[in-house]
Structure 1
Amino acid sequence: MTTHEIEKHPQYDDYDYPTTAPTVQSGHPGHTTKEQDAAIFSLRTQLEQAGYKERLDTLTMLRFLRARKFDVAAAKKMFEDCEKWRKEFGVDDLVRNFEYTEKSKVFEYYPQYYHKTDKASHFDSAILRLLALVDGRPVYIEHLGKIDLPAINKITTDKRMLQNLVVEYEKLADPRLPACSRKSGQLLETCCTVLDLKGVGVTRVPSVYGYLRQTSAVSQNYYPERLGHMYLINAPWGFASVFSVVKGFLDPVTVQKIHVLGSGYQSELLKQVSKENLPEVLGGTCPWQEPEWMKPPKWAQDGAAQPKAEETKPTEAAKPTEVSTAPAPQHGLTGGAEAGAGAGQAPMGA
């Protein structure tokens, strides 16, 4: 297998960022075999024949194929299930029109945000050598020990939280990851997730476990191959036993990306994320933004927004503050603590 540029499809592949994965991994963009390239052609052709016209670009085809070990039939079913869910859930409408106006209030009881980037390998394919570590994937952080579900339920609903989660996954795909790819000069398709378990006592572990299981279903089934690394830090005593149960619901490839660390997490975490790229609460510095790498996402370039879906209205009891979640060109590369507050991305997913 040799490193090569992906063969771009004239109808579906419209990329304005690098399309070669930074490390040599079989089945990843730029590192495919002839058999894997044939699988891309076969999957796309079968989906076209089934009437699908969107999301048939090469990078997407490869993500679904990798998620199903290049079993074309299994990847086709996964894609079809995903498209059915997108239609039923109204994803395309939500990403354009959803307004999570209660975001700042939810953040008080469930802090979650994007904060700078991790370290990415810069690999020179011409000489087959690792040259340096550069700014890489978006770093997504959640402080699970501060979750107060009763308080959150007075502000918003489970359905709106799930809608926000899905919208943030869409924003991760575009514009966040393309912006990171432009800046690093190499394709980046995944994120680095840090789940802070500080304050999660043994009695609260089951509720956190339930949350992880619920949200991981969305990411694994409908947003495959988006997790680069996950660090569960400040893990309390007994959490490892609970997590051993959680692992049973995850793909083995996903499990390999997850690191469970105690209070002495920094030495291990700093191998992946520079100290200056961590927020102060985790021993780092302040948020930062680099708008020059950001471009409007493709879904925002399709014309005027459609009428808002009925479900985008908050409950009357919420009384939210006005905080816009609509993406704009001036947003930072991955958003800071303020830009990403209440981001709501599901923490798990291969």
Structure 2
Amino acid sequence: MADVAAPPPPPQATEELPPPPPQGTEEVLPPEPPLAEPPREYAPAEQEEVPPPPSSAVTTTTAVESELLEKPPPAHEEVVVSVDASKKVEPPAEPQKVPQSFASFKEESNKVADLSVPERKALEELKQLVREGLNTNVFVSKQTPEQEAETGEASVSAGEVSIWGIPLLKDERSDVLLLKFLRARDFKTKDAFVMLRNTIHWRKQFGIDALVDEDLGDDLEKVVFMHGHDRDGHPVCYNVYGEFQNKELYQKTFADEEKRTKFLRWRVQFLEKSIRKFDFNPGGICTIFQVSDLKNSPGPGKRELRIATKQALQLLQDNYPEFVAKQVFINVPWWYLAFYAMINPFLTQRTKSKFVFASPSKTAETLFKYISPEQVAVQYGGLSVDNCDCNPDFTVSDPATEMTVKPGTKQIVEIIIYEKCVIVWELRVVGWEVSYGAEFVPDSGEFSVNIQKPKKMSPLDEPVVHGTFKVLELGKVLLTVDNPTSKKKKLLYRFKIDLLGD
């Protein structure tokens, strides 16, 4: 990096940016994700298609999008979206496109019937090697009685070998597990068998089964945590490296070899608990969607962190094959992007296809491509709040509607009410810098009722606004967002109706 005198600024118009370097360079980088996989040769995958947002109660009754795409909107143009509160219909989904500059990784099927002939042959060959290994006890760890006492693991007899709770060769779940090792070694059967054997030996030596139940404290619960699912059902794991800006936490975690060893054990324990929630059934979910937040991430000068990261990365690459569906890096600093732009030509297609990079201004937009807003944590632009009673009317199972508020445009969401009820809603504009207001307009022609006078919202305001109104006559609730800025804004909202008795 010393020979790069003036790195270029970060790209401003792309969500997916150059991916991380191969293994030999991680010691000069910020922390790698806890499930990073080693790069390997792979044919370009199909272009990934991201599913549209989930259904909600929204019906668009005006068509202005095509005109807005052809010419800049005039100042304060009004765009009205009408919603029938009594119906549940498919929303008008905005097109979700992955940039064409990258071939996005497409998860392979774990169903034997979907495998190619060479892949099925490799799987049968691996199963035969495993069968022979079980009969000859090659999976039994060569430990002394003293070592077995220390690790809490005793030698097992033939036919009793399990990994992640899946007995080898007992049922079709074993095929799913073996496919992970095959794919990690490009379907080279002998290499996959050696990896599997070494992993089983390592698990015994590391004392994995005892580690799962060990109390390692909760100091790092804000550093790595699970929150929600992506649009394909993968659990989402967040890695928040900025937490290590806390000097006390950093010293407590990495100051010496003993502390780094405890950190490594905590990291493995967290991963083991996550994996054991998978059922490993063919066609099911058995991979994790990872989000790594690099905001305020310690730079490459932190020696202790580099050592711990390198140890963890090597261990995870050797013993946890193919457990990552996608790696999304958010709040990426410009110097990180500049470095990857230089090494991008040297990376394999498979490695590049699994990684997505987003600069701070593109973080929420990029996450929404893969995770619906109601599943994205509030601090990352979404609507999901864990362990909070601040708005018990909504949960992650309540779908939100996404729309774009174009520059110089006033967006009005018109919710038509046909019965007496109490309506509750929540709304956010990512980044705000807009005016928000709400009113009720009765069908009788009487004066409208101000629910929320137009208020200029700043990025420092509460990320999500909540509203409620008791409707005693037919009419419509208008939620208005006025965007005076030169930037388009992402609007999210959802509502519920509680009918009143006569």
* Band the TM-score falls in, shorter-chain normalisation: 0.5 to 0.7
| Residue in 2 that maps onto 1:270 | 368
User: 2: distance between equivalents of 1:244 and 1:283?
Assistant: 27
Letter aligned with residue 75 of structure 1: A
Q: By percentage of residues, which structure has more helix?
A: 1
| Residue in 2 that maps onto 1:196 | 293
Q: Secondary structure at the match of 2:333?
A: coil
CA contact (8 A) 2:241 2:298 kept: no
User: 1: distance between equivalents of 2:302 and 2:331?
Assistant: 13
Do structure 1's residue 221 and structure 2's residue 318 form an aligned pair?
yes
| Residue in 1 that maps onto 2:188 | 71
Do structure 1's residue 106 and structure 2's residue 205 form an aligned pair?
no
| Residue in 1 that maps onto 2:489 | none
Q: Secondary structure at the match of 1:151?
A: helix
Letter aligned with residue 224 of structure 2: Q
User: 2: distance between equivalents of 1:113 and 1:270?
Assistant: 19
TM-score by length of structure 1 reads 0.60
Corresponding pairs, count? 243
Letter aligned with residue 115 of structure 1: H
Alpha-carbon shift at residue 144 of structure 1 (Å): 0.9
| Residue in 1 that maps onto 2:353 | 256
Alpha-carbon shift at residue 154 of structure 1 (Å): 5.1
Alpha-carbon shift at residue 44 of structure 1 (Å): 2.1
| Residue in 2 that maps onto 1:342 | none
Q: How does 1:204-215 map to 2 (within 5 A)?
A: 212-215=309-312
Q: By percentage of residues, which structure has more strand?
A: 2
C-alpha spacing 1:233/1:163, structure 2 compared with 1 (3 Å):
same
1:245-270 Cα shifts (integer Å, max 9, x gaps): 99899875233211111012222221
CA contact (8 A) 2:260 2:308 kept: no
User: 2: distance between equivalents of 1:24 and 1:237?
Assistant: 30
Q: Secondary structure at the match of 1:106?
A: coil
Letter aligned with residue 162 of structure 2: E
C-alpha spacing 1:229/1:211, structure 2 compared with 1 (3 Å):
farther
Which structure 1 residue ranges, 5 or more long, are not aligned?
1-22, 121-135, 291-350
Letter aligned with residue 44 of structure 1: K
Alpha-carbon shift at residue 190 of structure 1 (Å): 1.0
1:168-192 Cα shifts (integer Å, max 9, x gaps): 22222211x33xx89xx95112111
C-alpha spacing 1:211/1:281, structure 2 compared with 1 (3 Å):
farther
| Residue in 2 that maps onto 1:166 | 268
1:303-337 Cα shifts (integer Å, max 9, x gaps): xxxxxxxxxxxxxxxxxxxxxxxxxxxxxxxxxxx
1:203-256 Cα shifts (integer Å, max 9, x gaps): 668877666544332322111111111111111121124456998998752332
| Residue in 1 that maps onto 2:143 | none
CA contact (8 A) 1:190 1:226 kept: yes
C-alpha spacing 1:281/1:119, structure 2 compared with 1 (3 Å):
same
| Residue in 2 that maps onto 1:282 | 380
C-alpha spacing 1:73/1:186, structure 2 compared with 1 (3 Å):
closer
Identity of aligned residues (%): 23
CA contact (8 A) 2:107 2:325 kept: no
C-alpha spacing 1:202/1:216, structure 2 compared with 1 (3 Å):
closer
| Residue in 1 that maps onto 2:428 | none
User: 1: distance between equivalents of 2:321 and 2:237?
Assistant: 17
Q: Secondary structure at the match of 1:47?
A: helix
CA contact (8 A) 2:183 2:322 kept: yes
CA contact (8 A) 2:244 2:250 kept: no
Q: Secondary structure at the match of 1:270?
A: helix
Q: How does 1:234-245 map to 2 (within 5 A)?
A: 234-243=331-340
C-alpha spacing 1:85/1:254, structure 2 compared with 1 (3 Å):
farther
Alpha-carbon shift at residue 147 of structure 1 (Å): 1.0
C-alpha spacing 1:280/1:27, structure 2 compared with 1 (3 Å):
closer
Q: Secondary structure at the match of 1:195?
A: strand
CA contact (8 A) 2:245 2:298 kept: no
CA contact (8 A) 1:190 1:227 kept: yes
| Residue in 2 that maps onto 1:32 | 115
Of 35, 59, 76, 2:176 maps to 59
Do structure 1's residue 81 and structure 2's residue 189 form an aligned pair?
no
